[in-house]
């Protein structure tokens, strides 16, 4: 089980400055974009590529949570 202390510091990896996660039965869910993160061996897997998309959402680009381009350095500069 995820402790409340841990839960207090966890954030959605897509928008770490604002979004909190809440515990569902066997996973964590972002309260903003509703991505579902599995809990493996008691630790949440906060990897967007392994997270489950909410119903009706086909891609990460449609979610309300988005990474801020400036935080990834030059990687995304065209
Ligand atoms: Zn989110």
CA of 33 to the centre of ligand 1 (A): 4
CA of 12 to the centre of ligand 1 (A): 5
CA of 18 to the centre of ligand 1 (A): 9
CA of 78 to the centre of ligand 1 (A): 25
State the pLDDT at residue 29: 97
Q: Are 15 and 66 in contact (CB under 8 A)?
A: yes
Cα(63)–Cα(40) distance, integer angstroms: 24
Token pair recorded at residue 72? 């990834």
pLDDT exceeds 70 at position 73: no
Distances (CA, A) of 37 to 16, 59, 63, 70, 76: 14, 15, 15, 25, 25
In the chain, the DSSP E strands lie at 21-23, 27-30, 36-40, 43-44
Report pLDDT digits (tens) over 10-53: 999 999 998 999 999 899 999 999 999 999 998 999 999 999 99
């Amino acid at each position: 089980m995820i402790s409340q202390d841990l839960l207090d510091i966890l954030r959605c990896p897509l928008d770490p400055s604002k979004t909190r996660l809440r515990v569902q039965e066997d996973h964590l869910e972002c309260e903003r974009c509703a991505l579902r993160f599995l809990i493996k061996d008691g630790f949440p897997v906060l990897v967007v590529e392994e997270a489950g998309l909410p119903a009706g959402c086909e891609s990460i680009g449609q979610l309300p949570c988005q990474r801020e381009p400036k935080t990834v350095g030059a990687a995304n500069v065209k």
